[in-house]
Amino acid sequence: MSQQALSPYQLVAGVAVITLDNPPVNGLGLALRLRLEEALRVAIADRAVRAIVLSGAGRGFCAGGDITEFDLPAITQSPSLMALFGLIEDSPKPVVAAIHGMALGGGLELAMACHARVAHEQALVGLPEVHLGLIPGAGGTQRLPRLVGVETALNLIVQGRTCQAYTMRDSGLFDQLTSDSPLDAAQALALKLADQVGSGSALRRTGQLSVHMHDAAAFFAYARATAKAQSRGLPAPEAGVDCVEFATTLPFQQGLEGEFEVFSRLRTTAQFAGLRHVFLAERKALEVEGLPSATSPRPVERAVVIGGGTMGSGITISLANGGLSVTMVERDQNALDRGLMTVRQHYEGAQKKGRLSAQQAEQQLSLIKGALDYQGVAEADLVIEAIFEDLQAKREVFEQIDALARPGALLASNTSMLDINQIAAFTGRPQDVLGLHFFSPAQVMKLLEVVEGERTAPEVMATAMAFARRIGKTAVVSGVCEGFIGNRMLQPYMMQAGLLLDEGALPHQVDRAIERWGMAMGPFRVSDLAGNDLGAQIREQRLTQNPNLVYSRNFDAITRMGRFGQKVGRGWYDYVPGQRAPEPSGEVNAAIEAESRRLGIQRRIISDEEIVERLLFALINEGAKILEEGIAQRSSDIDVVYTAGYGFPRWRGGPMFCADQLGLKYVFARMRHFAGGHDYQRCEDFWRPSALLCQLAEREQSSSALNQSEKS
């Protein structure tokens, strides 16, 4: 078959330029692998071709393997990545990678199989597979140490770090860095290598390079122990150390085989299943159901944040980090000065830690200014209200910004609990009003709940999702209800935590059980962090609306003691100055035991398993109710909320994914068991399964069915 019929590459002055083209990130799925193999074989056989350059179409070189194929037969179908990269490395003609945008995971492994690499200095490179519970599985752990040395390779592989190419200028990974087109430079280098081959020089094949490591056994033992200590029991980091050790102790081909064996084993673990689910769920969450495909986001360049407290300052920083011009508005000069000082201290701290250069810090600060009036609202594309949770106060803010904002500006509330539809009704433009619920500290936490009101326009939703991506947030759409998705589910979780105290547990036992299971912080440590007085306000509001809710009276007892949490050094725990870990409080434990006596309850030993199940199943059941009501678009969105915003272990996939892994029938049966608890707790009401959960359990369906059935 002729080259013209195949058209697998563009021939430029003797160089075959093969372009990876699989939008959006040129993932190495089976279809692309087949096209790439065909193009390589044709180019190698074509006498007119002296050298080959691999380039990427669109916004980057290649972001790696296609994760959607990882549990399909396609992942093992020929050509495998290992075979394809072997074809490249064994090519008698020079193969050069031209890297722009990104070369991540399998994309970087592809580049390392080439005989040379030219990268744009701002290109993002790395082997982040560990964040999916995997190790590089197509030669990355064997080729990277041969190019950059063992220590640098370990840091990249075990930590899953990504970095810009210029930071690895002297590492040996790249043959050339450029601020111009890497494709032009790669073509020139490819021809130079072809001339050298023609003169009898051998190509530099990565797999033939040697790896030297002094006192390797001691070094890898230390690296393995460090990885184990930092990985909280996840197997991939330690496995990464093992595979890099293969590179120093085994011939190249045996090292590749060992790496692939480890990769294949990790691909069957529960950790990979959970991490893969969250990875795909975060991308699915970007899709707004019912949004017309032609809907275009509005431009957002200038923003106003009303409020300069902890949340307002954090939001201001987040917006400036995304390149937006931000005006922070406060009611008096002292409050404004405090807010702006908080912002400045953040950037100064980032500079001291080496996260930003002095120039970058000043550039970010130059985007931020303060004001004591609302005049900046008239020029803003986005206004975010971030004051305290009082509906009347928010009404006053929205009436003022409604009078000043230009047509088409987005008016957003950062409320965590209040009704967005009521807030929208305070304006004459409810179609432009929505909730943007940031999580504290806003400059750190990734989650952003985008709350869609009854009359929020499709354009506004499209704009909000694009805005979230720009400022680096993980966005999830929520409908309007008390607490939206995350905080609404948190309430039954906290209720169960308190009732466990009544029956025999103590705060440190509850926290320890759920933290060992994987949660970043247990419920009582979270309560101390947020402020127990704030929790008391939320309970009061909820009980006013629904007097039948049952909370443990221990919550009110510690509030009456003035134990408001970390901010006062006393909460569910005692906080000793200079001591990192909180101490269980004898005073609190005595009060808990007294409450059990008041209730006439004989305290019992409660297993960690029961603690975990009662907390987890409370989340699952409320999540199912949220789906029934259409508050969440899909069950995987709930998983994203909890893994991105509430410390739920990513490797467990989120509460709804856990329900699938356990089996809805099992969850349903355990809830019925818990419904037989103490009468005063109204257990029958609390543990009554949602209608959707009952339906799916009876049908023996799973979380995937829950996703599909949420609107039925």
DSSP letters spanning 540-597: HHHHHH-TT----THHHHHHHTT--BGGGTBSSEE--TT-SS-EE-HHHHHHHHHHHH
CATH 2.60.120.380, applies to 302-478: no
CA–CA distance, 26 with 32 (Å, rounded to integer): 8
- What is the CATH class of 3-266? alpha beta
The beta strand positions in 601-656, using DSSP E, are none
CA–CA distance, 435 with 449 (Å, rounded to integer): 8
Largest CA distance in the chain: 93
Query: Please, is 616 exposed, middle or buried when counting C-beta atoms within 10 Å of its C-beta (0-12, 13-18, 19+)?
Result: buried
pLDDT in the model for residue 710: 39
CA–CA distance, 639 with 634 (Å, rounded to integer): 9
Neighbouring residues of 202: CB distance < 8 A, sequence distance ≥ 6: none
β-pair type (102-104, 176-178): unpaired
Neighbouring residues of 291: CB distance < 8 A, sequence distance ≥ 6: 458, 461, 462
CA–CA distance, 634 with 637 (Å, rounded to integer): 5
First to last CA, the chain: 53
Count of CA atoms in the C-beta half-sphere (13 A) of 299: 4
pLDDT in the model for residue 703: 56
Domain ranges for the chain, please list them: 3-266, 302-478, 482-606
Q: 502 by DSSP, 3-state: which?
A: helix
Neighbouring residues of 136: CB distance < 8 A, sequence distance ≥ 6: 105, 106, 109, 127, 129, 144, 157, 243, 259, 263
CA–CA distance, 662 with 617 (Å, rounded to integer): 11
- What is the CATH class of 482-606? mainly alpha
Measuring CA to CA, how many Å separate 630 from each of 423, 463, 636? 20, 22, 13
pLDDT in the model for residue 706: 54
What type of residue sits at position 122?
A: Q
> Residue 2 is inside which H or E element, if any?
none
Which stretches of the chain drop beneath a pLDDT of 50?
1-6, 708-712
CA–CA distance, 512 with 521 (Å, rounded to integer): 9
Q: Known catalytic residues?
A: 109, 129
Query: What is the model's pTM?
Result: 0.91
The angle at the Cα of 78, spanning 77 to 80, to the nearest 5 degrees, equals 90
Phi, psi of 677 (to 5 degrees): -80, -160
pLDDT in the model for residue 356: 87
453 DSSP assignment: P
Express each pLDDT in 71-106 by its tens digit: 777 777 899 999 999 999 999 999 999 999 999 999
* Two tokens, residue 451: 């709350």
DSSP letters for 128-139: GGGGGT----SS
Q: Go through the chain and tell me how many residues it has.
A: 712
Express each pLDDT in 315-370 by its tens digit: 999 999 999 999 999 999 999 999 999 999 999 999 999 888 899 999 999 999 99
